[in-house]
Amino acid sequence: MLLAALIWLAPLPFLAARPVPQGGYTTEKHPELGLTFPRARDYEQIPTQPDEPFVVLYYAQKVEKSAHGARPELNVVWIDEVPDKKPATGAGADAPPPPPSPEGETKPEGGSTAPGDKQAKPPINSLERWVEQRLNGFELVDGKEGKVKKGWGAREYLLRAKPVKGRPAGSARGWVYAWRGAGRTVAFVGFANSEDYDKHVEIWRESAEKVDLDEPEEASTAKLEKRYAATKLREIPFRIEVRKKLVRGWKAEDTENFIVVYDTPDVPLVRKLLGDLEVIRKEYEKLFPSVQPVTAISTVRVCKNRDEYMTYGGIPGSAGYWNSATEELVLYDAEKVVKGGGKSDADTFIVLYHEAFHQYIHYSTGELPPHSWFNEGHGDFFSGARVRDGKVRGIGPNPWRAAYIQAMVEARQSVPWGEIIHFEQADYYRGDRVGLCYAQGWAMIYFLRTSPVVAKKPEWARILPTYFDTLKSAWSEELATLEASGKKDDRVKRFESGLAARKKACETAFQGVDVEALDLAWQEFVRAMELPKSK
């Protein structure tokens, strides 16, 4: 979504031609938004992020129709033109903006919150502010007046990158057609590579100029409420909201702890996924009893392929992610052809078991992420699970990590245990060693959970349960202190308290442990480890 806005080349003048896209147009009806407009059949609707407040509809050219890299896209942006909040004075004045983030802090995986922005930004209540705050340094170039209908006036713009010293020229072009009515702006915003721009700007204009703008209808939930009335599922309002936001072609299925939304046509994959989610969840619960019952329901979104995953917002280089802010686990159907001409869904489930662990541990610790070696290491540990007939039949080596860490240990390039156990997320994700850290984190957990040598040494065997139990108790104590001091909602103080809880957990877990001896035993274990067979 809006990815093409990150690169730029000066736009062409407005054009007057009206090319018809291959396949023509179809009518998009969105009564909940009061919008009806023609949409090119070459485009498909992509879900927007659950916490996206402005882009209400998002379309991208179908992958098979895209010829020049990035897919041309059309966003429909909704902005309520509420007045700016007037500054208060004297008693009751607004608190000052939060201080800058601590040096070196980055947003942890899983959507965990970090300290606030360096300065407060004004609310987005106009198209100009939306462009300034959401389009990464682009500005509107006023082009010409558009049409007028039903009390709405339109204006057409180009988007131009603000001059920034050292910014390389790109190849994307942007365009906006904004309708402004009483207290609201509805804008159609398109992006495409320069090779596609001439054609697609006219396709976008066809949608924007011919839109019917009516008052939004209140979306009825009666049918969905009736659907759930006979079930014993919990968190029905959350499930209803997820279903209300389904876009054309997507489907949803419920389990006890999840609602799975999917675009893949692979029904057997979905059926296995629904069952495996609940099976693997029970394994997490055995090893990591929660500080309090986990009642939250999470969305699991399965995109049909990697292209759709990346268009939806997948992180480059990733195969899936858990976003705690939206309570959504996202992955894609990673089916691949294997030797002999068959197909394998193994990679899909490697990602599923890993990311579902992040979802569970987020709640079981009281929403505090553990150290990355513990968190990512366990995610990859569960990725080696073998689930059949409703049970976990065993957990073997992770096929993505085993060979790599074995080679790194042989080359004497592993990170000393005395260092990696203290790594915060920014250290673990450092660009020159993130792959090594992931592989080593997995191997550390696999060693501590499966090695007979560890089982015979009580001080080693207690490391993982002690870490987890101490993390929960230390975090509870930190939260109680924050509550007592009136700082429970202070993001900086919560961040500092999280650091303190993790530090205590690590110190307690490794108290009395000869970490160098543990490291050497681990290296011996890794060298002798039997690698999983490739599928």
Say how far apart CA 290 and CA 308 lie, in whole Å. 34
Q: Where do we find the tokens 């139990």?
A: 469
pLDDT of residue 15 exceeding 70, the answer is no
What domains does the chain contain, in order, with CATH numbers? Answer: 3-83+125-213 (3.40.1000.10), 220-364 (3.30.2010.30)
For the chain, give the number of residues: 535
- Over residues 477-532, the pLDDT tens digits come to 999 999 999 998 899 999 999 999 999 999 999 999 999 999 999 999 999 999 88
Q: What is the mean pLDDT of the segment spanning 163-189? A: 80
Residue 23, pLDDT > 80, answer no
pLDDT above 70: residue 399: yes
For residues 529 and 535, what is the distance between their CA atoms, to the nearest angstrom?
18
Q: Tell me the pTM.
A: 0.75
Q: Please name which of 1, 3, 11 lies closest in space to residue 174, comparing C-alpha atoms.
A: 11
- For the chain, give the mean pLDDT: 85
Give residue 70's pLDDT: 78
CA distances from 398 to 277, 343, 405 (A): 18, 19, 11
275-325 confidence digits (pLDDT tens): 999 999 999 999 999 888 888 898 999 999 998 998 888 888 888 998 888
The per-residue pLDDT for 36 is 96
pLDDT at 99 over 70: no
Average pLDDT over residues 336-342: 70
Between the two ends of the chain, the Cα-to-Cα distance in Å is: 34
Model confidence at 10: pLDDT above 60: no
**Alpha-carbon distances, residue 116 vs 97, 122, 487 (angstroms):** 8, 14, 14
Contacts of 156 (CB under 8 A, 6+ apart): 14, 143, 144, 145, 146, 175, 176, 177, 178, 205
CA nearest to 190, candidates 281, 75, 92, 355 = 75
Which pLDDT band holds residue 467 (cuts at 50, 70, 90)? Answer: very high
| Tens digit of each residue's pLDDT (9 = 90 or more) over 79-95 | 988 777 544 333 333 32
Res. 12 pLDDT band, cuts 50 70 90: very low
pLDDT per residue over 123-168, tens digit each? Answer: 888 999 999 889 877 889 877 898 899 889 999 999 987 766 655 5
Binned at pLDDT 50, 70 and 90, residue 337 comes out as low
Amino acid 344: pLDDT: 85
Could you give the percent of the chain with pLDDT greater than 90?
A: 61
User: Could you report the per-residue pLDDT of 231-268, keeping only the tens digit for each?
Assistant: 999 999 999 999 988 888 899 999 999 999 999 999 99
CA 138 to chain CA mean position, Å: 24
